[in-house]
Amino acid sequence: MVLNDKSTGKPNSKRHGPRSGSERQRPELEAKPGLDARMAASRILAAVIDRKTSLDGMLDAEHGNPAFTALNDADRSLVRAILQTALRHLPRIELILKELLDSPLPEGARALHHLLIVAAAQMLYLDIPDHSAVDLAVEQANRDPRNRRFAKLVNAILRRIGREKQALLEYVSDVPCMPDWFLDRLIDIYGEDHALAIAAAQLEPVTIDLTVKSDPETWAKTLGGRVLPTGTVRLDPFKGTITALEGFEAGEWWVQDTAASIPAQLFGSLDGKRVADLCAAPGGKTAQLVLAGATVTAIEQSQSRLRRLAANLERLKFQAETRCINLLEIEDEEGFDAILLDAPCSSTGTTRRHPDVLWTKDSADIAKLATLQERLLRHAITLLKKGGRIVFSNCSIDPIEGEMLIDKVLADHPDLRIVPVEPANWRGLEEAITPRGEFRTTPAMLADKGGLDGFYACVIAKT
Ligand SMILES: C[S@@+](CC[C@H](N)C(=O)[O-])C[C@H]1O[C@@H](n2cnc3c(N)ncnc32)[C@H](O)[C@@H]1O
């Protein structure tokens, strides 16, 4: 490898000034298959990294970023794959570019940075032929007045990536793919080995997990999956269309990460109980509560998300009362027998599926969300009957949104106590149960079975 070979080509300073007439007549708008997808990917990457916009909303088929919604289905899948890959491997790709550049990109050359990241992600981590990625990136540079003068540089850097791919991948193979602030935080919390295992786990392909209404063993056989300690049916690997699988139309199962299936199971039987699911949409846990025999009130403040929940319950042929309201406005004199509060959180446990999370949130966001969760939990407690149980959960791996928050609330409530989870009921997941009986999964756990999301769940009883 020639990492310090400075033959990468330089910005063409002659092209700095106003464009000549002949340049202006370039056939710039000639259609080039795949170019729109790359341009959309670069634009959306800019929104994630520079403007901290979450990826999910921008990749929504109807209301997403216009550059995305304008694409056909194949290009949309490609953009999704490019962005997930680029964000997952961002520190490694940035390091490779840094090594190959003679000098750092000019201050503010963000469009060029994003273009290079998008192209390099395809060449290094996706099955896209090098020549196609390079040609499209050069064309993309030529079409953007901000990047045109760097087209030769783009060409030179990307060709080197093509030539030296294996050595470059080897060179960055130990680099944890997380922002430093987050890795440092994980090391403080979990120790270095576990933190690095979490960083490695988020680069593994994600599995498809199904919660089934009944008989997981038979469904595992039917769908070619296996049953996990949570009762989840895991399809791994899965390629295809979920909605085409047997049992989807009939409403026999729903997609739910195995870690996300844990909190609602912690109540045990809910036969005849009146249960509130306070942050309910899109409804995976509402469905579990109905399945466990509860009469469920599903509370959700977002109208559009509540519509999704209603559609999901309809497919599953489940019934629940639904209310579109901020849970802080609810009063219930009778009190619920049980409450699930699956609170909005930093989602730092879901970076395998949502690699944008670490690039759109920071420690101040996490602290803010913890404060919100505390308010929600304190209010939820007022809605619980004496003798009732509340399960507090979220998909963060930061204890300030979990264990520490529970400590704070319990310190003010002598009438509340943690009901420890019984490890004997969770064979194969014992490592996820804390000494005082909470559930604390991280993406580094269940590694031999394909991993799981990071989740926190705690059962609290009111006396
Ligand atoms: C983590 S998601 C819940 C996922 C859901 N429990 C499931 O398993 O499908 C959090 C949800 O809480 C909703 N939410 C946030 N704050 C709320 C509030 N104050 N009142 C009601 N719903 C709220 C959000 O709109 C979001 O849909």
pLDDT digit string (tens) for 412-444? Answer: 999 999 999 999 999 999 999 999 999 999 999
CATH code for the domain of 231:
3.40.50.150
- pLDDT reading at 139 higher than 90: yes
Inform me whether the pLDDT recorded for 17 exceeds 90: no
Instruction: Tell me how far apart the alpha carbons of residues 289 and 291 are, in angstroms, rounded to a whole number.
Output: 5
Structural domain count, the chain: 2
238 shares a domain with 112: no
Please indicate, yes or no, whether residues 76 and 142 belong to a single structural domain of this protein. Answer: yes
- Give the pLDDT of residue 29: 60
Write out pLDDT tens, residues 78-122: 999 999 999 999 999 999 999 999 999 988 899 999 999 999 999
pLDDT bucket at 19, cuts 50 / 70 / 90: very low
Query: Mutate which of 56, 279, 369 to test ligand 1's pocket (most atoms within 8 Å of Cβ)?
Result: 279
Question: Is residue 346 domain-shared with residue 415, that is, in the same domain?
Answer: yes
Domain boundary among 121, 151, 171: 171
- 3-class DSSP state for residue 141? helix
- Say yes or no: 354 and 298 in one domain: yes
Each residue of 381-413: pLDDT tens digit?
Answer: 999 999 999 999 999 999 999 999 999 999 999
**Rounded to an integer, what is the distance from CA 280 to the centroid of its chain?**
18
Quote the tokens at residue 340.
């699930």
Q: Where are the alpha helices (DSSP H) in 149-280?
A: 151-163, 165-171, 180-190, 192-201, 216-223, 262-265
Q: How confident is the model at residue 13 (pLDDT cuts 50, 70, 90)?
A: very low
- CB under 6 Å to ligand 1: residues? 260, 279-285, 299-302, 305, 326-328, 342, 344
Co-location of 306 and 261 in the same domain: yes
Determine the residue type at 254.
W
Tell me whether residue 251 is in a domain: yes
Q: Is residue 183 part of a domain?
A: no
* Range 139-145, long-range pairs (CB < 8 A, 24+ positions): 139/32, 139/35, 140/35, 140/38, 140/39, 140/42, 140/115, 141/112, 141/115, 142/26, 142/28, 143/28, 143/35, 143/39, 144/111, 144/115
Residue 47 resides in a domain: yes
Residues 222 and 308 placed together within one structural domain of the fold: yes
Distance CA 75, CA 202 (A): 25
Question: How many alpha carbons fall within 13 Å on the CB side of residue 423?
Answer: 11
Q: Using the 3D structure, point to which of 125, 143, 171 is the last residue of a domain.
A: 171
Considering the domain architecture, whether residues 145 and 230 belong to the same structural domain is answered as no
- What CATH number corresponds to the domain at position 109? 1.10.940.10
Residue 389 pairs in a beta bridge with 338, 461
According to the model, what pLDDT value does residue 4 have?
45
In a domain, 46, yes or no: yes
Contact between residue 250 and residue 244 where contact means Cβ atoms under 8 Å apart: no
412: its two tokens:
């003010």
Tell me whether residue 188 is in a domain.
Answer: no
Domain boundary among 121, 147, 171: 171
Q: Are 294 and 358 within one domain?
A: yes
Q: Express each pLDDT in 204-220 by its tens digit.
A: 988 999 999 999 999 99
Q: What is the pTM of this model?
A: 0.91
Report which secondary-structure segment, H or E, holds 360.
helix 357-360
Which amino acid, 321?
Answer: E
Q: Is the pLDDT of residue 168 over 60?
A: yes
36 in a domain, yes or no?
yes
Residue 74: pLDDT band (50, 70, 90) is very high
3-state secondary structure of 378: helix
On whether residue 176 sits in a domain, the answer given is: no
Q: What is d(CA 26, CA 263) in angstroms, rounded to the nearest whole number? A: 60
Same domain, yes or no: 159 and 218: no
Q: Which residues are catalytic?
A: 395
- Residue type for 178, please? M
Asked if 92 and 226 sit in the same domain, the reply is no
Give the Cα-Cα-Cα angle 202, 255, 68 (nearest 5 degrees): 70
How far is 212 from 262, CA to CA, in rounded Å? 13
Percent of the chain residues topping a pLDDT of 70: 94
- Using DSSP's 3-state secondary structure scheme, residue 31 falls into coil
Across the chain, what does the average pLDDT equal? 93
pLDDT digits (tens, 9 = 90+) for 185-204: 999 999 999 999 999 999 99
Question: Do 272 and 154 lie in a common domain?
Answer: no
Owning domain of residue 232: 208-462
How many helical (H) and strand (E) elements, i.e. helices and strands, does the chain have? 19, 12
Is 138 domain-assigned?
yes
Which atom of ligand 1 has the smallest separation from the CA of 344?
A: 10
Q: Best of 300, 354, 371 to mutate for ligand 1, by most ligand atoms within 8 A of CB?
A: 300
Residues 163 and 216 in one domain: no
Which positions ≥6 away from 440 have C-beta within 8 Å?
Answer: 402, 403, 432, 433, 434, 455, 456
